[in-house]
């Protein structure tokens, strides 16, 4: 039996094309279903929210806002910590639900739940640092910096991390005193409803957190509603649509966390102290974890046109070809699961085919995963050196190799993208690292670490088509509240005399 609304987090199992967005409005289906991408089985079904349901959810959030914003911060923190306790109590069931809806291995889903739990205390600390209160003495009294919530915040979530990524918007927004209406990806509605149930169990007042379900039409209706902010994680294409849609609504805060065509540069690695196999493992982890469905995955491996570069590429391709692929609950545990939907897999294969048609030889061709649905896409490594290939994010286990003559060319190749989310350097030379971190255009930069290893205790966001200069994670507090600078004196004093002196002059 598939899960239905109201049956989530019970611990029972039921036998897209990039992070979800809204795009242009289209007709909404009355019934929404999510499918296990590994098996094709129905996981969840329920009614999609029509425009009237969206309007009701926003109106409820609007009514709840004054009371929620007026609560002392300590009380809002208590509610958020109660939510964390619900996540901890239901962690095994929630991890299984995430794995079933997304297809990611259970170990990966457990890591996502752990990140959701950890996000609470990190957000409390970040709110105190980034959006707290500060007082400075002045000759007339004091200057006081305070932060105020915007109002009703819409959150649109992606499918690849359906709990962790929207959680990174929702928790800071509620801490700041906003109310929230959340639309999960249409591919992962069950996880969205699980989050809503956890908030209800935490005792959150009515209307403070609302849930609407649906696809593009529901998302467009929510974006067009009476909201004060829209917080979105998803594709660059949808991000561009949202920029246009909100161009004449300056009163609505828009925070976009988008994708990237992320470079990983390997250099100065022919030092005997540098382990080639370690470098290859880092490249594979950067490109293929979560089946390449992380916005920070490495999409381009930039190497020297040398014997070392060739050896590293061969080692990485060989390792990628041995990765275990399987369903979320198989033993031994797989490293990769399927892509999120047949449409996502079809698009990935079409883009690989286009690169090959442009002249990119496969260094690792996709191997058929015997006995599996078409959603299972095995790792692909292509050599695109010297080719004019599209500057796009292939949200799949696809890695493009670029060979360059020197480090200057490597940095130029890394920056040859309209995106700017993540970038990494593999190498032991400190001077090269200092140059790389100073010159590469990316918001998240790593050295001898996977590009996917971002810390929630740091800002997460990028340049260009990767966002709109409102990074998430530690800096989410910045877009969840606006600063109010107050000049305060205990009583009017000195103003009359000063004005009189000026009049006499």
pLDDT at 11 exceeding the cut of 60? no
pLDDT at 138 exceeding the cut of 50? yes
Distances in Å between the alpha carbon of 314 and those of 20, 265, 369? 34, 15, 21
Rounded Cα distance, 50 and 56, in Å: 10
Average pLDDT over residues 445-461: 94
Please measure the distance between the N-terminal and C-terminal CA atoms of the chain and give it in whole angstroms: 87
> What are all long-range contacts of 120-123, with beta carbons under 8 Å and residues at least 24 apart?
120/80, 120/81, 120/83, 120/84, 120/171, 121/84, 122/456, 122/457, 122/473, 122/474, 123/80, 123/168, 123/171, 123/172, 123/175, 123/476, 123/477
Largest CA distance in the chain: 95
Distances in Å between the alpha carbon of 204 and those of 181, 201, 287, 305, 347? 13, 8, 39, 58, 41
Convert the pLDDT of each residue in 190-235 to its tens digit. Answer: 999 999 999 999 999 999 999 999 999 999 999 999 999 999 999 9
Nearest to 299 by CA among 415, 410, 377, 398: 398
Nearest to 283 by CA among 299, 259, 272, 306: 299
8 A C-beta contact, residue 229 and residue 154: yes
pLDDT at 13 exceeding the cut of 60? no
Least confident of 16-25, 138-147, 420-429, 473-482: 16-25
Q: Which residue has the higher pLDDT, 235 or 504?
A: 235
Q: Taking the domain 36-258+467-486, which CATH number applies?
A: 3.40.605.10
Nearest to 291 by CA among 247, 260, 256, 323: 323
- Give the pair of three-digit tokens for residue 471: 């990074």
pLDDT at 284 exceeding the cut of 50? yes
Average pLDDT over residues 491-498: 80
pLDDT at 17 exceeding the cut of 60? no
Place of tokens 């996540």: 87
Alpha-carbon 456 to chain mean position: 11
Q: Which CATH architecture has domain 262-447?
A: 3-Layer(aba) Sandwich (3.40)
Average pLDDT over residues 267-283: 84
Convert the pLDDT of each residue in 398-441 to its tens digit. Answer: 999 999 999 999 999 999 999 999 999 999 899 999 999 999 99
* Residue ranges with strand state E in 23-129: 31-35, 42-47
Rounded Cα distance, 400 and 416, in Å: 14
Distances in Å between the alpha carbon of 317 and those of 293, 337, 349, 383? 18, 18, 18, 11
* Strand order through the sheet with 179-183: 209-211, 179-183, 152-156, 229-233, 253-257
DSSP state of 325: B
8 A C-beta contact, residue 471 and residue 460: yes
Specify the pLDDT at position 20. Answer: 44
Q: Which residue has the higher pLDDT, 500 or 143?
A: 143
Least confident of 15-19, 76-80, 227-231, 253-257: 15-19
Specify the pLDDT at position 496. Answer: 79
Specify the pLDDT at position 505. Answer: 60
8 A C-beta contact, residue 288 and residue 323: yes
pLDDT at 15 exceeding the cut of 60? no
Give the three-state DSSP class for 52.
helix
pLDDT at 178 exceeding the cut of 50? yes
Convert the pLDDT of each residue in 322-362 to its tens digit. Answer: 999 999 999 999 999 999 999 999 999 999 999 999 999 99
> Which residues have a catalytic role annotated?
257, 295
Average pLDDT over residues 279-286: 97
pLDDT at 369 exceeding the cut of 50? yes
Percent of the chain past pLDDT 70, that is, above it, reads 93
| Angle of the 106-130 helix axis to the 73-89 helix axis, nearest 10 | 170
8 A C-beta contact, residue 57 and residue 181: yes
Task: Please report how many Cα atoms fall inside a 13 Å half-sphere around the Cα of residue 158, on the Cβ side.
Answer: 26
Each domain of the chain, given as residue ranges in start order, spans 36-258+467-486, 262-447
Specify the pLDDT at position 29. Answer: 54
Rounded Cα distance, 502 and 505, in Å: 5
Specify the pLDDT at position 230. Answer: 98
Percent of the chain past pLDDT 90, that is, above it, reads 87
Convert the pLDDT of each residue in 20-76 to its tens digit. Answer: 445 544 445 578 999 999 999 999 999 999 999 999 999 999 999 999 999 999 999
Specify the pLDDT at position 120. Answer: 98
């Amino acid at each position: 039996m598939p899960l239905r609304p109201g049956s989530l987090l019970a611990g029972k199992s039921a036998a897209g094309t990039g992070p979800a967005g809204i795009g242009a409005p289209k007709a909404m289906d009355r019934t929404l279903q999510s499918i296990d991408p590994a098996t094709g089985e129905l996981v969840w079904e329920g009614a999609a929210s029509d425009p009237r349901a969206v309007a009701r959810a926003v109106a409820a959030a609007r009514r709840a806002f004054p009371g929620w914003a007026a609560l002392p911060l300590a009380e809002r923190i208590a509610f958020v910590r109660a939510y964390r306790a619900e996540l901890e109590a239901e962690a095994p069931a929630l991890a299984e639900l995430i794995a079933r809806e997304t297809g990611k291995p259970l170990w990966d889903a457990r890591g996502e739940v752990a990140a959701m739990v950890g996000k609470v205390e990190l957000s409390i600390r970040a709110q105190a640092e980034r959006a707290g209160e500060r007082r400075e003495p002045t000759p007339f009294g004091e200057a006081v910096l305070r932060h105020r919530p915007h109002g009703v915040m819409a959150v649109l979530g992606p499918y690849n991390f359906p709990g962790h990524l929207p959680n990174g918007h929702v928790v800071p927004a509620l801490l700041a005193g906003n109310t929230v209406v959340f639309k999960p990806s249409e591919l992962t509605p069950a996880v969205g409803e699980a989050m809503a149930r956890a908030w209800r169990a935490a005792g959150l007042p009515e209307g403070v957190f609302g849930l609407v379900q649906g696809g593009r039409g529901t998302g467009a209706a929510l974006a067009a509603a009476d909201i004060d902010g829209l917080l979105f994680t998803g594709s660059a294409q949808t991000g561009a649509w949202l920029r246009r849609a909100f161009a004449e609504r300056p009163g609505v805060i828009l925070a976009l966390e988008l994708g990237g065509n992320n470079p990983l540069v390997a250099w100065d690695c022919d030092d005997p102290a540098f382990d080639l196999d370690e470098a290859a493992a880092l490249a594979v982890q950067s490109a293929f974890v979560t089946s390449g469905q992380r916005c920070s995955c490495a999409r381009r491996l930039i190497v020297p046109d040398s014997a070392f570069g060739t050896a590293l590429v061969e080692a990485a391709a060989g390792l990628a070809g041995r990765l275990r692929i399987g369903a979320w609950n198989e033993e031994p545990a797989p490293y990769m699961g399927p892509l999120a939907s047949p449409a996502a897999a079809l698009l990935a294969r079409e883009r690989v085919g286009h690169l090959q048609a442009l002249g990119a030889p496969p260094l690792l061709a996709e191997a058929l995963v015997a006995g599996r649905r078409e959603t299972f896409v095995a790792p692909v490594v292509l050599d695109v050196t010297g080719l004019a290939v599209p500057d796009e994010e292939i949200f799949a286990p696809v890695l493009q190799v670029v060979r360059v003559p020197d480090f200057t060319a490597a940095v130029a190749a890394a920056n040859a993208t309209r995106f700017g989310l993540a970038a990494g350097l593999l190498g032991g030379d400190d001077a090269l690292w200092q140059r790389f971190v100073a010159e590469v255009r990316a918001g998240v930069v790593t050295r001898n670490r996977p590009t996917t290893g971002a810390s929630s205790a740091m800002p997460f966001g990028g340049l260009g088509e990767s966002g709109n200069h409102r990074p998430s994670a530690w800096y989410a507090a910045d877009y969840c509240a606006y600063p109010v600078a107050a000049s305060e004196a205990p009583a009017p004093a000195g103003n009359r005399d000063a004005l009189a002196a000026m009049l006499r002059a």
